[in-house]
Structure 1
């Protein structure tokens, strides 16, 4: 290689590696205040492959994209309620409030108000990275991204023209195909006791408690349990009256800490809480709830400050609950929030009916296209839904109309621009991934 070119490339890599390191130190170190042990756990997951690195570094994505002079953004005065971390693995099958098995988005920790385009761009990159893991060619990746974008626009138009209602639209066995349909059908065969059987044990008196012999469960101290019990009334009060049962229904029977989690959630506190339930069948209708720590969402560090939003969402657990209710048609009736030791938590049911897509179902290209199409429709649904929900939304205009106005008549140009950019950024992520691994060794997180 030419000496001058080598110097240029090495300088670019040095600057980029320093940028990556600075962002990781700022967010994981100073803002998240992760211990060295937790940072190692997180980076161990992130160094598995480029897609895992992408999932664990959403802050780097926003740093790179926030000031790009891209067209097709909605105006600042017409933001969309976004997930803030939309990617391929944040979709799954689960049971809704009406005991129906549906397929939808499932992670709302980074929910915020901003341009829809950030969700769409992040999702497009994730499709490429995920498809690359399954050895799909660049041409196939191009087609998958275009299928996602085209479906997204078509679904928004369907909402805007009144052909479908984003508040009522659900994705069930009847209107899905391929891997999504297969995931839903497998869930329908599960027993109501699936999660209880998996996480708990019965003693000789038939009293149920968590099985702390499980690898990812650990006991809590008496003081911690007492503090959680004292904070529990705040959780119960946070549940809307229409969903709230009598206090005895939420009586805590056992508590454990949940170890291990998604990549971006590493280091956040999480509890499994066993509650009484309806008391109709002795210890058979107990319910497992999950309480997860919530922090300020990543987009908030990059988007303009919105006073109205923050006044309504001072509690970060409430913000996560707010986001889920905005995006889901029939939300979990156990959604609520509380504060413990100065940290904000949100609560949801640890449902026995929850299942991610399996890689083996997506190795067939036709199946992958079917799945991407469903994800495109769901992405449009969550963006169009929030403004229609008077309990959860704070927007006084139709998001789908604002997004379609931003795209205008240039649908092909929109798809082309996002596709080309996502192809470019996939290369950036894969190169950053190699720099990240070098940085880990240089900082002595791991040996070479």
Structure 2
């Protein structure tokens, strides 16, 4: 290689690696304040493959994409609630408030108000990375991205024309195919005691408690439990009054720490809380809740400052709950929030009827295609539901109009440009992944 060109490429590589390192230090170090042990655990997961790296580096994604001059953004005065971290693994099957087993989005930690396009951009890159893991060709990868974008717009159009209503559309075993239908059918076979049997034991006095012998569960100190029980009053006050039961229903019977988490949640506090449930029944009416720490969402560091948003969302647990309420027409009846020891938390049920898709069921192109088309419909549904007015209880469902206007009449141009960009950015992620592994060695996280 020509020495000048070699110098140019090495300089480019060095600058990108420095950028990557600076962002990792700022977010995982200064902002999240992860210990060296927690960072090592997170980076161990991220270095498994480029898709895992992508999942764990949402801050790098937003650092990049907020600088791109896309023409398909909705205007600033027409925001929608976005997930902020939409990717293939943030969809799953679960039981909703009406006891229907559905497939939908399941992670709202990074929820924020902004342009729908950031969710779509992150999703199409994740489709490319996941399809590569499954061994699909570049041509098949392009087709899958195009199918997702085409289905997304088609579903928005159906909402706009009144053929379907985002308030009521849901995806069950009756209207899904392939891996999603298979996952939903599997859950339908479960017993209501599934999670209790998995996480708890009953002693000779018929008292149920968490099984500390289980992986990733550890005891809490008396002081920590006392703090949680004091904060529990705030949680009870945060519950939806229309679905809230009497206070003793939520009496705490046992608490444990939950260790281990998703890649992006490394270092956040998490508790499993066993509550009483129906007092006139035995054992199986005990319910497991999960309390997870919530921090400022990643998009907030890169989007323009919105004083009204922060005035309405000072409590980060409340913000996460609002995002879920906006996106799900049937929200978890246990969804609430509290503040403890200076940290914000949101609470949700640890449902016995919850299951992720299995990668081994996605290795067939047809099955993968069926899956991403349903994910596209869900993406359209949550964006059509979640306009800014949902915060104030005004459910007008007009977001689809603003999004369709932003996409424009030339939908082929929309699909073509986003497909080209996602192909380019996937290559960027793969290059960053290699730089990341080099940076880890340089920082002495792992030896070569």
Question: Does the aligned pair in 1 maintain the 2:389–2:396 contact within 8 Å?
Answer: no
RMSD: 1.2
Structure 1 distance, partners of 2:333, 2:60, is 34
In structure 2, the CA distance between the partners of 1:55 and 1:393, relative to structure 1 (3 Å rule), is farther
Instruction: Give the CA deviation at 1:388.
Output: 9.0
Instruction: Give the CA deviation at 1:397.
Output: 6.9
**Which residue of structure 1 lines up, in the alignment, with residue 64 of structure 2?**
64
**Which residue of structure 1 lines up, in the alignment, with residue 203 of structure 2?**
203
Deviations 1:127-163 (A, max 9, x none): 0000111111111100000000000000000000111
In structure 2, the CA distance between the partners of 1:388 and 1:315, relative to structure 1 (3 Å rule), is closer
1:76 partnered with 2:56: no
**Which residue of structure 1 lines up, in the alignment, with residue 348 of structure 2?**
348
Q: Compute the TM-score of the two structures, normalised by the length of structure 1.
A: 0.98
Instruction: Give the CA deviation at 1:246.
Output: 0.8
1:366 partnered with 2:366: yes
Question: Does the aligned pair in 2 maintain the 1:323–1:392 contact within 8 Å?
Answer: no
The total of aligned residue pairs comes to 448
Structure 2 distance, partners of 1:393, 1:376, is 26
Report the secondary structure of 1:94's partner residue: strand
Deviations 1:183-242 (A, max 9, x none): 100000000000000000010111100001011000000000001000000000000211
Instruction: Give the CA deviation at 1:4.
Output: 1.6
Instruction: Give the CA deviation at 1:408.
Output: 1.4
Question: Does the aligned pair in 2 maintain the 1:326–1:392 contact within 8 Å?
Answer: no
In structure 2, the CA distance between the partners of 1:390 and 1:66, relative to structure 1 (3 Å rule), is closer
Report the secondary structure of 1:175's partner residue: coil
In structure 2, the CA distance between the partners of 1:18 and 1:29, relative to structure 1 (3 Å rule), is same
Report the secondary structure of 2:168's partner residue: coil
Question: Does the aligned pair in 1 maintain the 2:179–2:362 contact within 8 Å?
Answer: yes
Structure 2 distance, partners of 1:250, 1:217, is 21
Deviations 1:239-260 (A, max 9, x none): 0211111111000000000000
Question: Does the aligned pair in 2 maintain the 1:294–1:345 contact within 8 Å?
Answer: yes
Report the secondary structure of 2:77's partner residue: coil
Structure 2 distance, partners of 1:339, 1:227, is 10
The more displaced of 395-404 and 176-185 is 395-404
Question: Does the aligned pair in 2 maintain the 1:386–1:393 contact within 8 Å?
Answer: no
1:159 partnered with 2:185: no
**Which residue of structure 2 lines up, in the alignment, with residue 170 of structure 1?**
170
Structure 2 distance, partners of 1:386, 1:425, is 27
Instruction: Give the CA deviation at 1:371.
Output: 0.2
Which 5+ residue runs of structure 2 have no aligned equivalent?
none
**Which residue of structure 2 lines up, in the alignment, with residue 434 of structure 1?**
434
Report the secondary structure of 2:347's partner residue: strand
**Which residue of structure 2 lines up, in the alignment, with residue 105 of structure 1?**
105
Instruction: Give the CA deviation at 1:308.
Output: 1.7
Instruction: Give the CA deviation at 1:396.
Output: 6.7
**Which residue of structure 2 lines up, in the alignment, with residue 235 of structure 1?**
235
Report the secondary structure of 1:368's partner residue: helix
Deviations 1:254-288 (A, max 9, x none): 00000000000000000000000012322221000
Report the secondary structure of 1:174's partner residue: coil
Deviations 1:97-151 (A, max 9, x none): 0111000000000000111111000000000000111111111100000000000
**Which residue of structure 1 lines up, in the alignment, with residue 338 of structure 2?**
338
Instruction: Give the CA deviation at 1:19.
Output: 0.2
**Structure 1 residue ranges (4+ consecutive) displaced by more than 4 angstroms after TM superposition:** 388-397
Report the secondary structure of 1:167's partner residue: coil
Structure 2 distance, partners of 1:73, 1:185, is 38
**Which residue of structure 1 lines up, in the alignment, with residue 125 of structure 2?**
125
1:279 partnered with 2:279: yes
Structure 2 distance, partners of 1:396, 1:343, is 34
1:28 partnered with 2:28: yes
Which 5+ residue runs of structure 1 have no aligned equivalent?
none
Structure 1 distance, partners of 2:74, 2:134, is 33
The more displaced of 341-350 and 33-42 is 33-42
Report the secondary structure of 2:386's partner residue: helix
Question: Does the aligned pair in 1 maintain the 2:386–2:397 contact within 8 Å?
Answer: no
1:205-354 equivalent positions in 2, closer than 5 A: 205-354=205-354
In structure 2, the CA distance between the partners of 1:133 and 1:263, relative to structure 1 (3 Å rule), is same
In structure 2, the CA distance between the partners of 1:391 and 1:21, relative to structure 1 (3 Å rule), is closer
Question: Does the aligned pair in 2 maintain the 1:386–1:392 contact within 8 Å?
Answer: no
Structure 2 distance, partners of 1:37, 1:8, is 36
Structure 2 distance, partners of 1:356, 1:241, is 30
In structure 2, the CA distance between the partners of 1:210 and 1:67, relative to structure 1 (3 Å rule), is same
Structure 1 distance, partners of 2:211, 2:332, is 25
Structure 1 distance, partners of 2:353, 2:9, is 50
